[in-house]
Amino acid sequence: MTKFGELKKKPQTALVTGATGFIGGHLVRHLRKLGWEVHALARCTSSNPDIANSATWHKYLGDYESVSLAIAVSQPDVVFHLASHFLTEHRPEEVERLVDSNLRFGMYLLEAMRQQNAQRLINTGSCWQHYDGADYDPVNLYAATKQAFEAIVDYYINVHNLKACDLKLHDTFGPGDNRKKILDHLIEIARTGATLEMSTGYQRLILLHVDDVTEAYVLLANMLLLDNSIESKRKSYALTTAEDFSIRDLVREVENHAKQKLNVKWGTRRSSVRLMLSPPRNFPPPPGWAQCHRLSDYLYKLFPDK
Amino acid sequence: MTKFGELKKKPQTALVTGATGFIGGHLVRHLRKLGWEVHALARCTSSNPDIANSATWHKYLGDYESVSLAIAVSQPDVVFHLASHFLTEHRPEEVERLVDSNLRFGMYLLEAMRQQNAQRLINTGSCWQHYDGADYDPVNLYAATKQAFEAIVDYYINVHNLKACDLKLHDTFGPGDNRKKILDHLIEIARTGATLEMSTGYQRLILLHVDDVTEAYVLLANMLLLDNSIESKRKSYALTTAEDFSIRDLVREVENHAKQKLNVKWGTRRSSVRLMLSPPRNFPPPPGWAQCHRLSDYLYKLFPDK
């Protein structure tokens, strides 16, 4: 029921890139739940039927025109740019894919936004751009392409009045994750009893539940929608928690909840060139954001009968 | 004649990208004159026979493998990376070319250098990355791709021990320039009497003779060859002169030397979105560098009978 004098608000329109990914898929659902009209731009439509019906899908054909068409048709109030190609370490033949996914596609997106006057972007960065808390010191080439893309975003902000901010992500977990990250491996061996080969296990992670992450995207979107200031600079935010975990801490957490010893062989796998021994804490959280989900609650639900 | 106890020094080997361009061509000749062994990596071999015979040419076929082959065959002591696609302003369909030339090619180059253990790079930057003297504020998308590439270079420095520095270029002039820059247009209308349509003419340039620029590349190369310090960070240099010129100053210079009034129609062309009203002076010159050639001497030689 609409009260007298109260206008029915037109729903906001989102365009989500990377919607076929773990966080992107959750974001699509969360935006739909909040009443947003959701469009997705991807190389292929999602095989997840739940998401498939939650968004209008636009196909990226590897060229500028398909991106431009998606922006023209969707007319997004906010673009949520989550698409990227992630690699811990790259081989020479993977450089091309890193350029195409993390720079070329994003540049098409920014140019199409400029041409169609779509003015708000949330860009996704990585804590791995900030090894040992540096302003910039990349852990890997993936992180370097993220940093490179920020320089391109700044051009569109400074010269073409784009309103944009970054959300720098740490590690994430949650239901429906098939990225085969470390936590999933540990949960799997707790269930199967299999053996897992590991490096030293001293690197430290900040781990966030995907629902806390999608909430952060929404807070930033609302901030961009409310912000009418002329002076604009790209601000970076991160979802940093007081608590962080070494890989060895994670093993203990899973062992505690599964009530069993995991078969982990420490030191049998080569470590990455750069091990993150203390997660960077350079950036503030989005205004109003607070962590609502803890790893221990998630693990408790996974191993309820123990 | 070699004195007793004096070893004949093996010549240094250079790989030059962008050798078919104006500065690249001059650099190839200059390095040859100094006794370097010169290799060039380009999409096509030079149509300039003078340069064609001064270098061993390697063909870039748009893929990583051709770049890798050039590095493997040439085994360069120093890579001089001058190749880039320059645009004052871009149209949407030109974004792809900017990515390919200014990011993808350079990333292939860096990766191939890492794989083949080629450890020294001189990267070419632009004063247009530093609008109004900012640490970073790009005049155009071209300048933004230059900044983006620096983030990639830093990855190879920090993680793979590349030794690298940037030379940030302002405007250049000299014999054999067919880039149709403003100075060439003015020289041409001084000779033909034709009319030139211009914007306001208030933007200011630092102008350097190409021989001063190639000398700077050689100084930086020698610096990288001598530098055995373990601690390495990318340093940026620029060839900044005390003197700078507005476009209106340039017209007066050419008029003084040609002893005639030029037919310039001010204000009849649209200005760029961002006019550089004061050239940035953020960076030091390469150690030991000094300007040896002045614009007035160059113009004096061009109009000797006046």
Q: Which residues of A touch B111 (CB under 8 A)?
A: 92, 95
What pLDDT score was predicted for residue B51?
87
Strand partners, A238: A168
Confidence of residue B50 (pLDDT cuts 50, 70, 90): confident
Query: Is A3 inside a domain boundary?
Result: no
What pLDDT score was predicted for residue A2?
44
With CB atoms and an 8 Å threshold, state whether A151 touches B138.
yes
> Which residues on chain B place their C-beta less than 8 Å from a C-beta of chain A?
63-64, 68, 92-93, 95-96, 98-99, 103-104, 107-108, 111-112, 115, 131, 136-141, 143-145, 147-152, 154-155, 158-159, 273-274
Query: Is A31 inside a domain boundary?
Result: yes
Distance from CA of B273 to the nearest CA of A (A): 8
What pLDDT score was predicted for residue B1?
42
With CB atoms and an 8 Å threshold, state whether A155 touches B140.
yes
* pLDDT tens-place string over residues B94-134: 999 999 999 999 999 999 999 999 999 999 999 999 999 99
| Strands in chain A per DSSP E | 13-17, 37-42, 56-59, 78-81, 120-126, 163-169, 171-173, 195-197, 204-205, 207-209, 235-238, 245-246, 263-265
* pLDDT tens-place string over residues A10-52: 799 999 999 999 999 999 999 999 999 999 999 887 677 778 8
Contact A51/A61 with Cβ under 8 angstroms?
Answer: no
**What is the pLDDT averaged over residues A270-285?**
90
The rounded mean pLDDT for chain B is 93
The domain tally of chain A equals: 1
With CB atoms and an 8 Å threshold, state whether A64 touches B273.
no
CB-closest option in B92, B137, B140 to A111: B92
With CB atoms and an 8 Å threshold, state whether A68 touches B152.
no
pLDDT above 90 for B144: yes
For β-strands B195-197 and B263-265, DSSP reports them as parallel
Query: Is A2 inside a domain boundary?
Result: no
Q: Which domain holds residue B35?
A: 13-302
**What is the pLDDT averaged over residues A131-151?**
97
- The pTM score is 0.95
Give the phi and the psi of residue A286 in degrees, each rounded to 5: -55, 140
Query: Is B167 inside a domain boundary?
Result: yes
Query: Is A94 inside a domain boundary?
Result: yes
| Rounded CA separation B136/B166 (Å) | 14
Residue A60's CATH number: 3.40.50.720
Distance from CA of A153 to the nearest CA of B (A): 9
ipTM of the modeled complex:
0.94
**What is the pLDDT averaged over residues A265-294?**
92
Query: Is B3 inside a domain boundary?
Result: no
Query: Is A1 inside a domain boundary?
Result: no
Query: Is B220 inside a domain boundary?
Result: yes
What pLDDT score was predicted for residue A271?
85
Closest to A160 (Cα-Cα) out of B96, B198, B89, B205:
B89
Radius of gyration of chain B (CA): 20
pLDDT above 60 for A1: no
Neighbours of B135 (CB within 10 A): 8
What pLDDT score was predicted for residue B47?
74
Cα–Cα distance list, B163 to A94, B89, B224, B228, B233 (Å): 23, 32, 7, 9, 8
Q: Which residues of A touch B112 (CB under 8 A)?
A: 92
What pLDDT score was predicted for residue B193?
94
CB-closest option in A141, A143, A148 to B148: A148
Q: Which residues of B touch A152 (CB under 8 A)?
A: 141, 144-145, 148
The rounded mean pLDDT for chain A is 93
CB-closest option in B131, B141, B151 to A148: B151
Confidence of residue B171 (pLDDT cuts 50, 70, 90): very high
Q: Which residues of A touch B159 (CB under 8 A)?
A: 138-140, 273-274
Residue of A87, A91, A103, A271 to mutate when probing chain B, most B C-beta within 10 A? A103
